[in-house]
Structure 1
Amino acid sequence: MNASLRALALAAALLGTAPASASEPGPAPRPSARELAQQLGAVEQGLRGAEENLRFVETQYTQRTEPSEDVSRERRFSDGEIQYLLGDWPAASVLFYDLVSEPRFKSHPRYTDALFYLADSLLQQKNYIGARLYLREMLSLPITAARYRDALSRFLVVAGRLNHYEGVDAFVEKARALSGGQLPPEMAYVYAKWLFRRTDLPPEERLARARAAFIPLAQSPDGAFRLQAAYHLGVLSVQAGDYPGAIQQFQQLAVAPAATPAAQVQALPAGVRRPGGDAFTAPEVDAQRVRELALMSLGRLQYETGRYDEALDTYSRVPRDSQSFPDSLYEVAWVHVKMGHHQLAKNAIDILLMVAPDSQLAPEARLLHGNLLQKLHQYAQSIETYEHVISTFSPVRDTMDNLLRVDRDPVVYFDRLLARTEASPDVSTLLPPLALRYATTEREVTDAIRMVGDIDSGRKGAGEAQDLAKRILQALDTRGLETFPELQEGYTRADAVDSALIHAEASLVRVEGAALEDVLTPAEREQLAGLRREREALGTRFGKLPTTIQELEERRQRMQARVDSVDREAFRLGYELRSLEAVAASIRKWVDDTRLERKSNPDEEREFLVQLQAETQTVTDLQAELDAARARLADERNAAATALAGEQTIRSGYAEALSREHALLDTAQGRLSPDVASTLVKAHEVRAKTEAMRARVATAREVLRGRVEARGRLIREKVVAEQELLNRYDAEVAEVTGNARNIVGRIAYESFRRVRQQFYDLVLKADVGVVDVSFTEKQDRTTEIQKLSAQKDKALHELDAEFRDVLVEEGGK
């Protein structure tokens, strides 16, 4: 293309189209026939470059067969599989959902694989309901035994999460039949854990069925799940009240060497309660972790059965680098308390507070520490320990009191608590850090927050999907080629070839004008001058149109740079708006939190809140406008390579002006001499080539427009179908939101109250401890005084007795 432009420029130079200098005496001489032939040769050379570019457009864009639907599905499946293997679960789920929702894909050989990838991607995102839907469909299809086991293991996990157990036994029996009558070890272990966690069975039936599932795994000498199954059996014995059997089971695990092979990493169940503590839930563990948990459970059972010396020996075998080491120290202290060894118990608590000062055990450990110091008559240190608890938890308790006192309606309270803005995305910004640490460990709070988050995320996702669908349909209606970058690139290249061909036509017209200048009549010259002025006026704008790939790229970069500059300013404005939202939310929270402390006029407060709401709504409206502007900027940036507005009009106008000029010159060709006429014959041959190439350009454009229409029609059908689904989703989300808000609000409200009650109990116990220490110290002092007084009386009596005779003699005298 560059070579063609250079050739066309050379032709223009040879024609002498540049204006004459003021110092030149007269017009340039008319070119000779040889010079005109050279100019035509330059035009032909330029056309060869345009021919190469046109052939590239045809081979790469118009003559290439559009991929069939099967090929397109294979490509999407491959892209989804890559995203799945990379761990990009959202992208993978979107790609596979598009596939499995297409009716024609259900007969594809890889349909079951797509179902599995989609279900597992949803499971990784904790979308248990969606994962259960596609896993259940997959289990109902004829699939291989290995794939069936993979799907069933995940289905059991989802069933346990959702407490949906119907149909599971039938799936397990089918898996057993596919495996020759016996489940593979990994499937058997997942099934046994699922039975262990079931809450819909009577306790006796659950224990019997879980034990029957774990026993074969535990009795397998080289089984990968032997230790995990044995630990579960021990916990089942505890739940059944069989402490001797549980102790025996845990003793076997506790003496197992740390290097015992256990290839699989699995989760263990809720274990034995620790002394004075809550049920212990084991994390993901390996063989060493199984041994540590067995030691902890064994020590607790020995404590419960009064075998204190054995319990101390068991706890001492817990490694110092174990995550259970702080728990073992706390429980060792309780064992010493039971044995009456207060100093040894204090020593254990001292070590615990040294190695884990911020653990969940620390507050209770400090209370026990204060009590032990009291029993050791170290009253000053005991009071100091209690006061540390009071100073730590009393301010947080008061803060939560104010937080809970603001609004007694749990729904309103929780709605405000979870008011989500960009600057305040979760509850962590509204609770004191110490309270948050305790609140997030509450399962009810965690589940409630997750539920509200899922609802909000679903509503937001549905809204974003609706907006995206509207933008897609609008783009298909108004932008056409811009919605398909590949086709747009081919169309832009065809336009560049068309511009080059018009440049060639302009060179041919100049050659004809130079050849016919002498044979034109005065009237024709005047008419030709007018046509040239009209063409040159259009030529200024036409000359700025890109004709090479390099020029197209430079234009794209210029346009993208301008869009990026505006987008940066929009981002800055968005940051300011989010800051204003945060300020408004903070002001509203301050008004609510300090209402009981302030003495302001209620009417003034109401007026202030109305103004604040109006300002907040203004910020919200501005944010919506800014979001729309940024979305438009994104569209413009993606369309930066498209043709400028009016390009085709400029190109057509310039070509029509050249055509009128050529038509006028064509009427005078019969007056030329034979030697000059041969030059024009050559020009007509070159023009015929340009016309043929322009016809090919028009064909290429037509093909590209047809493909745009076909793709657009297919996409439109899919988008409209998805819009219908989204409308149903919106109605379902609205219904769920109304129901869940009340339930979630009450759950979270009561859970936060329990956290506050924990703090209240800690402070109360510490306050009582201070009073108890003071009272005990007073009693000790009173007892000591009474003891000394009794000793004094006794000594006086002894002195009286000893000196009675002396006193009698003295009296007789």
Structure 2
Amino acid sequence: MKFRGAGVAAAAIAAAALHPWPVRADALPDVERDAVQVEERLALVESRSAREDEPAASRAARLFSEGETQYLLGDWQHAATLLASAVDEPAFRASRDYPAALFELADALRRQGACGAARAPYEAYLALGTPDRRPDALTGAVECAVKSGRPEAVEPLVAEAERAFAGNAPPEVRYLAAKALYGRTDLPAAVRLERAMAAFDAVPAPYRQQAAYFQGVLQIEQHDLAAAIQRFELCVGEKAIDDRQRAVADLCMLALGRVHGELGHAAEALGWYQRVPYDSPQFTDAMYETAWAYVRAGQHDAALRVASMIADLSPESPLAPEATVLQGHLLLKLGRYAEATDAYSRVINSYAPIRDELDAILSMREDPVRYFDELIGRQGKAFDVATVLPPVAVRWASTQRQVSDALTLAGDLDASRREIDEANAVSDRIDALLAKGNGLDAFPALRETYATAQAIENAAVALQGRADDAAYAAVAASVAGDARAALDAVHADRVALGRRLSALPRSAADVRSRAERLRGALDALEGEGFRLSYQLDDAKAAITGAEAWLEQHRAEIAADAEARTEFTGELRKHRAVVEGYEAELRALRQDVALARDAAAGTDALAEEATLRSAYAALAARELELLEAHRGGADAGALAALDRAGALAERLAAVRKRAEAAAARVAADATRHAGELRDRIAKEKLAIAGHAEALAAVQGDTKDLVGKIAYQSFSRVRGQFYRLVLKADVGLVDVAWARKRVRLEKIQQLSQQKGEELKQLEDDYRDLLREVD
């Protein structure tokens, strides 16, 4: 008996330790008041969970409204995203807004430059036969057909546009139709020229300037230079109202200078060249051709001044070394041999090492075409000409139309591959999210409602514990012996578990606060990721700067070509390392994104449910033990026990209602997740089809692009060979000119010496006779 009393005392001491302050028996009114508040929060959650889901048609109508707003604001990318989602909804196709959504989607894509993507919505819109906005749709479809290189599609569209506009198609349509005819290489040359000229004749303002330029080009193709001059003068005479028209006017001025130069009209050619503005992209070409016009006119000093300016004003232009060679020729003609030698030497010192490096690059493999194929066909990385050629050669190669198109094609293929990889990553991420918690984690609003229902259960269980505490405080004093020990043990276990329960959220505000804490930690990780990306950008900039410095001081370090080549190779290796880090960082960011999806997810809620159930079971057991000792309690304790029992039933009902609300939310999430997973499965199939098509395109184009790259780089090497050869010949010409000058001077001195000796003989002839 003594031992039992010691156990009771120990349980009482443990209970006292768990309660730093005494539990009042009169705390039940506070619990009842808090229970009312919990019921009110539950009613709000029940109203949310009972709402009907937004129908697909209503959702599509809302997306269209939002997309149209972005379209009117000029946010083409955002508008296209929203409108595409609306158009893809089958339930929306019966809506009267469906044609408008198709047109605005196509127009938004066209304005972004995505004519390939705009083709399908344009065709779908035109197929509806809707008269509203049909003329604008035809105009956009014609523009996209021209830009996409589909001349066969232009004529039917133009014919339909003529019908839609009652024979008065807008200027843009007429201009685009004429431009498409100009590019019809499938037609016989004579037919193409005749039809294109007639089509450009029919183009009204504000496209008269562009039409006149193309007509001038067509006249040059027909070798009618006098007629070409008239067209180009008409082009220049049109008032330019925007940057595009000013650029066309600059082209026409340059063309007039060339045509007059071809006809031998030096003064007129110079006049047109000098009218090209200094801020025009054609200014360097105009200056170079001006220098040659002065040369043809025999004005060598003026030609030298212009040629000298080109290297200073446009040092990066491929014309700069040509102008330096011309400068050397002119200095040679003017007899300024030291300056001519310096000009030629600058070209040799700058471009001979690049020529040698290109030789090494193009001859480093037995089959150079196959080498470029391998470079271009590497998976996961676009063919970057900067990783193969020296910077100066890159600039020269990029100016060639073929290599520019080849590199653009390789870049587009790589971009497409990255987009497919990103699409797969996004679909995998969404799939993983939809699979978690029966889809609850994928829908933030539903997840928050579900978590709030769970928080209300936490609050109800906690209130039940407070009610048990009040009942325990009222009844426990009347319990003794082994019964008290059992009661205190259950009470101690519940209080200990209650400490863990107290950390759980009990309201929507608590749920949001916990989610914000988790997101804050992930935000810190993302911040580190951004800082690392900046560091990688800094490293890439340092590598680029080192390459630029190496190129800038090429002439100074020309003597150690082997060390320069080794250093260049090291820079390329470092660039590859940095690119590897970038790939790792992208993978880490994907992991952070997945962790963000899991933050405040349903996994934690499942653990909370286990803890809550254990606490509720202990609370019910404790109340059951208290009920078993009603006989020894006074009237006040019995009243407290009755109120606690009523509260337990009331809070159990709250928990049941909260569970039902959570179940409804979970069912909605499961249904939504199923619908989305079906759509994602279809999208994955489409992505797989795109990947196969892209692989086929890569296989078809890899060899072609490799050959184009090799041939273009070979041409660049040839240009450097010719450039250095011109400079070498110039140095030889300077040496011969100096030798010729010296020979002429020696001959002059010898002749002068002979004449002077003869004069001396004549002067002293009489004296010599007397001596004799």
Q: Normalising by structure 1, what TM-score?
A: 0.79
Residue 390 (structure 2) pairs with residue 432 (structure 1): yes
Contact 1:535 1:658 in 2 (8 A): yes
Does the C-alpha gap of structure 1 residues 788 and 119 become closer, same or farther in structure 2, counting only changes over 3 Å? farther
Distance 2:680 2:169 in 1: 44
Q: Residue in 2 aligned with 1:43?
A: 31
Distance 2:431 2:278 in 1: 64
Question: How far has the Cα of 1:696 moved from its partner?
Answer: 2.1
Distance 1:317 1:409 in 2: 45
Q: Residue in 2 aligned with 1:489?
A: 448
Q: Residue in 2 aligned with 1:238?
A: 220
Distance 2:360 2:74 in 1: 44
Contact 1:47 1:504 in 2 (8 A): yes
Q: Residue in 2 aligned with 1:738?
A: 699
Question: How far has the Cα of 1:327 moved from its partner?
Answer: 3.1
Residue 73 (structure 2) pairs with residue 73 (structure 1): no
Q: Which has the larger helix fraction?
A: 2
Amino acid across the alignment from 1:350: S
Q: Residue in 1 aligned with 2:209?
A: 227
Contact 2:145 2:151 in 1 (8 A): yes
Question: How far has the Cα of 1:506 moved from its partner?
Answer: 1.6
Distance 2:101 2:371 in 1: 43
Summarize deviations over 1:6-54 as a string: whole Å, max 9, x none.
xxxxxxxxxx9995599x9xx98xx9xxx74x42211121112212322
| 1:620-659 alignment, distance < 5 Å | 630-642=589-601, 644=604, 646-659=607-620
Contact 1:160 1:198 in 2 (8 A): no
Q: Residue in 1 aligned with 2:369?
A: 410
Which moves more between the two structures, 445-454 or 707-716? Answer: 445-454
Residue 467 (structure 2) pairs with residue 467 (structure 1): no
Structure 2 residue corresponding to 1:309, chosen from 259, 264, 267: 267
Amino acid across the alignment from 1:744: V
Contact 1:54 1:494 in 2 (8 A): yes
Q: Residue in 2 aligned with 1:201?
A: 187
Q: Residue in 1 aligned with 2:335?
A: 377
Does the C-alpha gap of structure 1 residues 554 and 159 become closer, same or farther in structure 2, counting only changes over 3 Å? closer
Amino acid across the alignment from 1:207: L
Contact 1:115 1:135 in 2 (8 A): yes
Residue 652 (structure 2) pairs with residue 694 (structure 1): no
Distance 2:465 2:17 in 1: 23
Contact 2:213 2:232 in 1 (8 A): yes
| 1:351-370 alignment, distance < 5 Å | 351-370=309-328
Which moves more between the two structures, 663-672 or 338-347? Answer: 663-672
Which moves more between the two structures, 739-748 or 675-684? Answer: 675-684
Structure 2 spans left out of the alignment, 5+ residues: 1-11, 543-560, 564-572
Distance 1:417 1:728 in 2: 22
Structure with the larger RCO, 1 or 2 (CA within 8 Å, 6+ apart): 2
Residue 767 (structure 2) pairs with residue 785 (structure 1): no
Contact 1:418 1:426 in 2 (8 A): no
| 1:540-619 alignment, distance < 5 Å | 540-563=499-522
Does the C-alpha gap of structure 1 residues 756 and 185 become closer, same or farther in structure 2, counting only changes over 3 Å? same
Distance 2:615 2:383 in 1: 58
Distance 1:502 1:636 in 2: 30
Question: How far has the Cα of 1:566 moved from its partner?
Answer: 5.9
Question: How far has the Cα of 1:762 moved from its partner?
Answer: 0.7
Which moves more between the two structures, 101-110 or 79-88? Answer: 79-88
Contact 1:250 1:297 in 2 (8 A): yes
Does the C-alpha gap of structure 1 residues 144 and 363 become closer, same or farther in structure 2, counting only changes over 3 Å? farther
Does the C-alpha gap of structure 1 residues 435 and 120 become closer, same or farther in structure 2, counting only changes over 3 Å? farther
Question: How far has the Cα of 1:804 moved from its partner?
Answer: 10
Question: How far has the Cα of 1:582 moved from its partner?
Answer: 13
Q: Residue in 1 aligned with 2:552?
A: none
Question: How far has the Cα of 1:425 moved from its partner?
Answer: 8.2
Q: Residue in 2 aligned with 1:532?
A: 491
Q: What SS is found at the alignment partner of 2:471? A: helix
Residue 142 (structure 2) pairs with residue 156 (structure 1): yes
Amino acid across the alignment from 2:34: G
Q: What SS is found at the alignment partner of 2:357? A: helix
Distance 1:18 1:457 in 2: 68
Distance 1:536 1:21 in 2: 10
Q: What is the count of residue pairs matched by the alignment? A: 727
Amino acid across the alignment from 2:157: F
Distance 1:355 1:456 in 2: 36
Question: How far has the Cα of 1:486 moved from its partner?
Answer: 0.9
Q: What SS is found at the alignment partner of 1:143? A: coil
Residue 293 (structure 2) pairs with residue 335 (structure 1): yes
Does the C-alpha gap of structure 1 residues 379 and 196 become closer, same or farther in structure 2, counting only changes over 3 Å? same
Structure 2 residue corresponding to 1:300, chosen from 220, 239, 258: 258
Question: How far has the Cα of 1:301 moved from its partner?
Answer: 1.7
Distance 1:354 1:206 in 2: 43
Amino acid across the alignment from 1:441: T
Question: How far has the Cα of 1:180 moved from its partner?
Answer: 1.4
Question: How far has the Cα of 1:172 moved from its partner?
Answer: 0.7
Amino acid across the alignment from 1:529: D
Q: Residue in 2 aligned with 1:213?
A: 199
Q: What SS is found at the alignment partner of 1:546? A: coil
Q: Residue in 2 aligned with 1:142?
A: 129
Q: Residue in 2 aligned with 1:662?
A: 623
Q: Residue in 1 aligned with 2:96?
A: 109
Amino acid across the alignment from 2:721: Y
Does the C-alpha gap of structure 1 residues 191 and 670 become closer, same or farther in structure 2, counting only changes over 3 Å? farther
Distance 1:453 1:354 in 2: 33
Q: What SS is found at the alignment partner of 2:187? A: coil
Distance 2:13 2:76 in 1: 64
Contact 1:531 1:660 in 2 (8 A): yes
Amino acid across the alignment from 2:468: V
Amino acid across the alignment from 1:327: D
Amino acid across the alignment from 1:182: N
Amino acid across the alignment from 2:332: Q
Q: Residue in 1 aligned with 2:160?
A: 174
Amino acid across the alignment from 1:229: A
Distance 2:637 2:419 in 1: 74
Distance 1:421 1:661 in 2: 65
Question: How far has the Cα of 1:502 moved from its partner?
Answer: 1.1
Q: Residue in 2 aligned with 1:393?
A: 351
Amino acid across the alignment from 1:770: L
Amino acid across the alignment from 2:741: D
Q: Residue in 2 aligned with 1:712?
A: 673
Does the C-alpha gap of structure 1 residues 324 and 565 become closer, same or farther in structure 2, counting only changes over 3 Å? closer
Question: How far has the Cα of 1:701 moved from its partner?
Answer: 0.6
Q: What SS is found at the alignment partner of 2:666? A: helix
Summarize deviations over 1:507-536 as a string: whole Å, max 9, x none.
222333344446657454343233223323
Does the C-alpha gap of structure 1 residues 140 and 17 become closer, same or farther in structure 2, counting only changes over 3 Å? farther
Summarize deviations over 1:392-440 as a string: whole Å, max 9, x none.
2112222222222222332323533786879x98332443221121122
Q: Residue in 1 aligned with 2:465?
A: 506
Question: How far has the Cα of 1:337 moved from its partner?
Answer: 1.8
Structure 1 residue corresponding to 2:304, chosen from 340, 346, 364: 346
Question: How far has the Cα of 1:783 moved from its partner?
Answer: 3.1
Question: How far has the Cα of 1:385 moved from its partner?
Answer: 0.9
Summarize deviations over 1:175-230 as a string: whole Å, max 9, x none.
11111112112222232233333333222222222222222335xxxx33333333
Contact 1:139 1:171 in 2 (8 A): no
Does the C-alpha gap of structure 1 residues 152 and 761 become closer, same or farther in structure 2, counting only changes over 3 Å? farther
Q: What SS is found at the alignment partner of 1:199? A: coil
Q: What SS is found at the alignment partner of 1:140? A: helix
Question: How far has the Cα of 1:123 moved from its partner?
Answer: 4.7
Question: How far has the Cα of 1:93 moved from its partner?
Answer: 4.8
Distance 2:214 2:17 in 1: 102
Contact 1:417 1:427 in 2 (8 A): no
Summarize deviations over 1:691-748 as a string: whole Å, max 9, x none.
3322321221111011111111111111111122222223222222222221111111
Distance 1:324 1:627 in 2: 42
Structure 1 spans left out of the alignment, 5+ residues: 1-15, 266-283, 584-595, 599-611
Amino acid across the alignment from 1:656: A
